[in-house]
Amino acid sequence: MSAEAIIITIGNELTSGLIADTNSAEMSLMLAELGIVTIRHETVDDHVERIAAALRRAAGEAAVVLVAGGLGPTEDDVTREALALVLGRSLELHAESLRQIEALFAARGYVMSPANRRQALCPAGAEPLANPVGTAPGIAASVGGARVFVVPGVPREMRHLMGLHVLPRLADAAGGEAVVYRTAHAFGAGESVIGEKLADLMGRSSNPLVGTTACDGIIAVRITARGADRAGAAALAERTLEEVRRRLGPIVFGIDDQTLAGAVVEALGARRQTMAVAESCTGGWLGKLLVDVPGASGVLAGGVISYANAVKEALLGVEPDLLAACGAVSEPVAAAMAQGVRRRLGVDYALAITGVAGPAGGTAAKPVGLVYTALAWAEGQTVRRHQFPGDRQGIRLRAALTALNMLRLHLMES
Amino acid sequence: MSAEAIIITIGNELTSGLIADTNSAEMSLMLAELGIVTIRHETVDDHVERIAAALRRAAGEAAVVLVAGGLGPTEDDVTREALALVLGRSLELHAESLRQIEALFAARGYVMSPANRRQALCPAGAEPLANPVGTAPGIAASVGGARVFVVPGVPREMRHLMGLHVLPRLADAAGGEAVVYRTAHAFGAGESVIGEKLADLMGRSSNPLVGTTACDGIIAVRITARGADRAGAAALAERTLEEVRRRLGPIVFGIDDQTLAGAVVEALGARRQTMAVAESCTGGWLGKLLVDVPGASGVLAGGVISYANAVKEALLGVEPDLLAACGAVSEPVAAAMAQGVRRRLGVDYALAITGVAGPAGGTAAKPVGLVYTALAWAEGQTVRRHQFPGDRQGIRLRAALTALNMLRLHLMES
């Protein structure tokens, strides 16, 4: 039986619904890597007694309790006080923590405000966890038999302290069973079609567990494998992953953390080829997705955000007559944008996007959601017409992903 | 005193972290519209005793308990059983529910599987809530003094049943009190500095409630105001909002849903002026943020993603000698990028960004996180040097936001 955990996230911005809690899910996945099963998430408002009650409750139920949030410098950050209440100890100023906070402010060239001294407070008998990426140190404590770890609510700092302090200390807490998650990402087919191809693998309470979720046209096929040890679980997950790849074929673009842009950068890099982009309605989103990938500089020269027609003419050499005759959102203009940026930047491949993202600007002939994506290379070009669902953001993201997938499939075939 | 609510969401896919729970946040916002304050979210795995325990706990603490999920047709959907356990009653087949489920399958041309009969089960003494958009009816029940409503976990069905059954029945639960949320967004000062300026407003249990959260350098000041009616709560929120603006001054860039890019687009639009961008390490993110704003086409001509030096020379006219002498990440190159794109696109203002986003490419002289942001206009230019914390994404987003804020402040002053 593996160890069980309860995750508590703190903040009025969460309980009020103004912000959706993503830390709990991320932390559960991290724990699963150690074979620790999360049985409950709790989100409590900035209320010291209620936070203390949640801590006591969780410590009575689970061997591991993770807490995220309420470590900020302001009056409404009371997680430190709540933990002190539960431990029945007072808060003490931790000199080393204070020194690190002061150093961080100095490094950033800011003057530290007295309020930040609160962040150096830690309940007597608990252990401060150094935070190299922010001003809120974490806290490790023992409540009853349970091991309690408190980390900041800022996702970036949460991840950093989980990796630096919490997960290493919990490596031993995992019971006999190990859990391994793998994910195959597919683009270019609906969730139901994929579901049919994997129907027999998606039997509910079997091991491995196979499930799908769809987001912005990307279908994630999630595999959960359990085993007596990590190696066994990993092997089972790997076999299932291979079977999923075999059944779905080229629509699978990446595994686990790989993105569509990452797959394109990797494929171009392997061929020592280069690319550029020309974007109208996406306004730079396509370039942003490519530059998200470390090492993109090896393949991406850059591009043009040709939002106004004048820019399509001036920087991409699109003919004014063409724009007048067909309109900016048209197949020939998409092709001219792609060929234009390819020639100007002297790259092997270019992607171009032009469309109507809305909410305004749609017509009967060219409704909101109409998008043309173009791929150009020295010997040829392809242009595709799409009618995407969703709002301004959804249409634009789908357009950028679709353009990336055009190039990915072209590289697989050529 | 307004009624308090606890929201319970159910499912292994949530506790395992494979899917982030968005229902809780949505449901909290719906309740707030009625003046009902959510004090806790709980997410429980598909475990009948644990769900029952969460239900008892919540009913003992809050007047309203909303439950989402675990109403599916399969063995692991046990919310009905858990509620029956808590009520001490048995599950009974509800004929009308069964008829509606069968009708839904018929309408969709599917054969109903026997498993779906489970979805017509309801604890004796509880009331089934018809579900016109899915096969899982909701349930209304009373546990102790608390009013409990169970809805499906599929977001579309949750929304439908909340609107159709739950919110109308809760309209009276608000206890005459209304809650209004407002948010002021600030950029250019740390959370602790802002916290000090608002310290007396941030007293924990006062009305209005004022709290801050920080993300990517943007500080959100959240105001929660309660009143006898909506108008009264709105007036209190508005007064508090004005006080926050007065104390924080020009660092407040937007209210509620307004973004930093939105503020820039609005300010330029009011002046009938135009802008363009030149991006290196951000790779189009700055342009993307601007085009996120509906109506950006009125002020944004476009820009250049000058990721490679060759593009800085070819499309922006940056002198090769300058690049050779100072390097791409330098003050003069940032200025040349901004002036170059401004002239080429014939706009009033141009923003440029060049920096080291990492993870690789950092040196002692130019470490990861070093970013120059430049603003150019006809009569002059400003360049600022920054050392941003965080990873590749964090550094780049901070760079894009900082550039937007340079232009925003310039427009306020000129």
Query: DSSP characters for B125-151?
Result: TSEEE--TTSS--EEEEEETTEEEEEE
| Residues of chain B numbered 63-92 and touching chain A (CB < 8 Å) | 74-76
| Residues of chain B numbered 318-357 and touching chain A (CB < 8 Å) | 344-346, 357
Please give the average per-residue pLDDT across B294-312, as a whole number: 95
Whether residue A146 is predicted with pLDDT greater than 70 in this model: the reply is yes
Please give the average per-residue pLDDT across B23-34, as a whole number: 88
Q: Which residues of A touch B19 (CB under 8 A)?
A: 25, 213
Whether residue A176 is predicted with pLDDT greater than 70 in this model: the reply is no
Burial class (CB in 10 A: 0-12, 13-18, 19+), A349: buried
Q: Is the pTM of this model over 0.80?
A: no
Q: Which residues of A touch B387 (CB under 8 A)?
A: 107-109
Mention every residue, 6+ apart, whose C-beta is less than 8 A from residue A365: none
Whether residue B74 is predicted with pLDDT greater than 80 in this model: the reply is no
Whether residue A337 is predicted with pLDDT greater than 90 in this model: the reply is yes
CA gap B325, A335 in Å, rounded: 38
Q: Average pLDDT of chain B?
A: 91
Q: Residue A399 — φ and ψ, nearest 5°?
A: -65, -45
- Cross-chain Cβ contact B396/A291 below 8 Å: yes
Whether residue A1 is predicted with pLDDT greater than 70 in this model: the reply is no
Report which of residues A120 and A33 the model is more confident about: A120
- Cross-chain Cβ contact A307/B284 below 8 Å: no
Whether residue B113 is predicted with pLDDT greater than 80 in this model: the reply is no
Whether residue A172 is predicted with pLDDT greater than 70 in this model: the reply is no
Q: Which of A145-159, A216-230, B3-17 has the lowest mean pLDDT?
A: A216-230
Does B255 contact A at CB distance below 8 Å? Answer: no
Domains contained in chain B, CATH given: 4-173 (3.40.980.10), 178-255 (3.30.70.2860), 260-413 (3.90.950.20)
Q: What pLDDT was estimated at residue A207? A: 83
Give the model confidence (pLDDT) of B155-208 as tens digits.
888 988 998 899 878 876 656 677 788 889 999 988 888 988 998 888 656 788
Give the model confidence (pLDDT) of A247-262 as tens digits.
999 999 999 889 999 9
Does A360 contact B at CB distance below 8 Å? Answer: yes
Q: Are strands B178-187 and B209-215 parallel, antiparallel or unpaired?
A: unpaired
- Cross-chain Cβ contact A28/B16 below 8 Å: yes
Please give the average per-residue pLDDT across B386-411, as a whole number: 94
Token code pair at residue B315: 């499309």
Site from B40, B50, B337 to mutate, A interface, most A CB atoms within 10 angstroms: B40
Token code pair at residue A300: 């991406």
* CA distances in angstroms from A325 to A155, A321, B333, listed in the order given: 50, 6, 39
> Would you place residue B1 in the very low, low, confident or very high pLDDT band (cuts 50, 70, 90)?
very low
- Cross-chain Cβ contact B75/A296 below 8 Å: no
Q: Residue B91 — φ and ψ, nearest 5°?
A: -85, 135
The answer to whether the beta carbons of residues A53 and B52 sit under 8 Å apart is no
Does B15 contact A at CB distance below 8 Å? Answer: yes
The answer to whether the beta carbons of residues A36 and B25 sit under 8 Å apart is no
| Residues of chain B numbered 104-163 and touching chain A (CB < 8 Å) | none
Does B296 contact A at CB distance below 8 Å? Answer: yes
Distance (Å) from the alpha carbon of B22 to chain A's nearest alpha carbon: 6
CA angle B120, B121, B124 (to 5 degrees): 135
Q: Which of A40-54, A346-360, B107-121 has the lowest mean pLDDT?
A: B107-121
